[in-house]
Structures are given as C-alpha cells and as structure tokens.
Amino acid sequence: MISLRDIRKVYLSDNSRVDAIRGVSLEIGEGEICGIIGFSGAGKSTLVRCINLLENPTSGKIFVGNQELTALSPKELREARKNIGMIFQHFNLMQSKTVSKNIAYPLKGSGLSKEQIKKRVSELLELVGLSDKANNYPTQLSGGQKQRVAIARALANNPKVLLCDEATSALDPQTTQSILSLLKDINKKLGLTIVIITHEMHVVKEICDNVAVMENGNIVEHGDLIQIFTKPKVKVTKDFIATIFQENKIYELLEKDYFRNEIRKDEVLAKIVFVGQNTGQAFISKISRKFKIDASILFGNIEIIQNTPIGYLVVKLSGQIENILNVESYLKENNIELEVIKNGTFNSKYTTQCS
C-alpha cells in the first residue's frame, strides 16, 4: 500500500546541513498497522510527513496505492492526499468551530450536498463515540475527545491510509489506551492502513503488526512485532524493548547488589526470552536436570503481544561452566533465546550489560 524508495531529506540553511533522512526504503502492506519508533531527532516526523508530501523529499520515490506521489502535479497531489488522513500530537483543531464543523471541514468542495455532509459527520461522530458532542467547541473537550474529533476529521474523505504523528504523546495512559483501541477498531472495520510515529514502545506493543526502528535518519531494523520483541538485533531496539520489560531496572538492582549475590566463577547471569507455547514448558526444571545445574530466577515478566505470551527471565545459572554453556545451545534448539549478561569465568567473552 505504501512504498518508500530510497528517501533522502536534507535540510540546508546558510551555514548548516542536516541529513534528516538518509536513504530509507520501507514497504507497508494494505490494512497493516506499522509503527515507526525512534528517539528524538531520529527522523520519524520528517519521514511520516514525506509520506503525504507535507515534506518534499530531497530524493527518492513515494508510492501510495498504485500512485507515485512524487510524480504528481500539485493539482493531482491535492486529490491524492484525500486518500491519506493525518492526526497530530496537539490535535490541530480549529478552536472557533464546533466539533461538527471541524469534522465537516475537509468535505468542503467535495461536491456533497449539505444534507449528505450532515449525514457523513453524524456517521463519523458515531464511529469515534462523540455523537453527544456535535455542538461543543474544542475548548470544552478533554485531550482524548479532541483526538477523537481529529480522527473523525481525518477520516471524513474515506482515506485508505491514516498517518499518526505522536498522536497519543499528549495523553494520559488510560486515554492513550482508549485512542489506541479506537485506531485498532477503525483499522479492522475500515481496512485502513495505519502508520504510527512514536517514541513509546508500549504504543507499538499495543497495536502494531510491524515496526520499523529509526536512528539517525535510517531504518536500522524492521520486522513483525514478535520477531522484534524476541530477537532484536540492534542496540536501539534492545533499549526500547528494555523499557517494556523494565530490564534497566533489574540491572540497576543488580548493580546495587539487591540480590546479595555476586556472579561467582561457576556462575552465569543470563536473560532468557521465550514465546507462545514455550511459556507452558517446564524448561527451567528440564535444564536443571539435564545439565545438573541450579537455576535461580532473579526476575521474570510475561507480556502479551499480539495475543502471544512472551516471557522474559533473568536467571543465575550455577554449575560446571561447560554444562552451563551447553544450556544455551539446548535452549536455542527449542526456540528459546538465551543471552549471557555476565559470565563469572569468561567475562571478557561477553558484553557485560550491568557494569
């Protein structure tokens, strides 16, 4: 549905040059909810604004549906943009117009009669659960309600794509949840393709099918949610995932010697990640028996991602070091990931994440 091909965006001013996007290619399928996550300055907003050409890429091609947007005349582009709705962090509503008038605004010049516009607005109000607020002004609404109005307005022309630029960043966690549920609902009901820009992994976790991770103007990792959560490849993705599993907190506790346990010579501190059906396996007792080791669980967490449980454990394995190292390959054969965090014997072989 959306195809970005080698997009570059350079901002030039008198004495500076910013390479905001450095050759990004990305395919987003029809009906998919794709998250684009990255820390501040990674280039997310610039990239999403390129999708509807609010920002003109310096080079590269952009396709939405079968149309190459980068090849259209200004008039054709205006028409093509009706297929792409957009919502923003601060809602961008017109304060002097009622909720109904805000939603009706994009239908101006659409050729619909007054009656047809009224009907469409009332359908949209119902879709976003605001039928009783038709005559209110934006100042009389909560943040979540304002974002609902913005969503209704973005959907007025029946777009195929909805771009969300940090759409929940100004909302509290409960309201965020309700807006994400609404987006998911709309995605299912209307088959809408949704692109979500965020710096919050829990937003991605809640509703995305796929996620692209951005850093320094590049997409450094892209994949489906479960793959990204269980086998992240690059550090920035690992850092985002750590925010969900509270991994950093556990390392802080370990540094403070909270568990009153040093990692001795015959011990290994490891992180184990297991998915779906493996959550029901007694693999801790199996590895204990099979490899004659002790396994103490220092920390554990299970998150449900796309209806799939993903388990995360920090364990201390003690026993003969060869046996401990064999555990890693045994678990791998059983599709369970083990990453050594700290190794009492061969510290230099591994990156020590907690020191």
Ligand X SMILES: Nc1ncnc2c1ncn2[C@@H]1O[C@H](COP(=O)(O)OP(=O)(O)OP(=O)(O)O)[C@@H](O)[C@H]1O
End-to-end CA gap in the chain? 45
- Which residue lies nearer to ligand X by CB, 13 or 139? 13
Give, for 165, the enclosing helix (H) or strand (E): strand 161-165
Is 41 a binding residue for ligand X by CB under 6 A? The answer is yes
Is 56 a binding residue for ligand X by CB under 6 A? The answer is no
CB of 13 to ligand X, least distance (A): 7
241 φ/ψ angles, rounded to the nearest 5 degrees? -65, -35
How far apart CA 338 and CA 331 sit, in angstroms, is: 7
- Which residue lies nearer to ligand X by CB, 200 or 267? 200
Of 45, 147, 193, 343, which lies in the binding site for ligand X, with binding defined by CB under 6 A?
45
CB of 333 to ligand X, least distance (A): 40
Of 15, 40, 73, 95, which lies in the binding site for ligand X, with binding defined by CB under 6 A?
40
Is 20 a binding residue for ligand X by CB under 6 A? The answer is yes
CB of 204 to ligand X, least distance (A): 14
Q: How far is CA 95 from CA 80, 88, 92, 105, 151, in A?
A: 27, 15, 9, 13, 16
Using the contact rule CB under 6 A, the part of the chain among 40-48, 119-127, 247-255, 275-283 near ligand X is: 40-48
Q: How many residues bind ligand X (CB under 6 A)?
A: 12
Decide: helix, strand or coil at residue 333.
helix
CB of 74 to ligand X, least distance (A): 20
CB atoms under 10 Å from CB of 50, counted, come to 25
Please name the residue that has the structure tokens 């909805």. 162
* Cβ-contact 294, 317 below 8 angstroms: yes
Is 153 a binding residue for ligand X by CB under 6 A? The answer is no
Is 43 a binding residue for ligand X by CB under 6 A? The answer is yes
Is 38 a binding residue for ligand X by CB under 6 A? The answer is yes
| Interface of this chain with ligand X, residues 181 to 220, rule: CB under 6 A | 199
Output the CA angle 324-326-329, nearest 5 degrees.
130
Of 3, 8, 10, 18, which lies in the binding site for ligand X, with binding defined by CB under 6 A?
18
Using the contact rule CB under 6 A, the part of the chain among 43-51, 123-131, 220-228, 327-335 near ligand X is: 43-51
Is 309 a binding residue for ligand X by CB under 6 A? The answer is no
Reference 152, options 112, 125, 181, 190; nearest CA is 125
Of 1, 26, 33, 42, which lies in the binding site for ligand X, with binding defined by CB under 6 A?
42
Is 46 a binding residue for ligand X by CB under 6 A? The answer is yes
Residues 80/83/89/92 CA torsion (nearest 10 deg): 70
- Which residue lies nearer to ligand X by CB, 47 or 128? 47
Residues 47/187/65/5 CA torsion (nearest 10 deg): 30
Binding site for ligand X (CB under 6 A): 11, 18, 20, 38, 40-46, 199
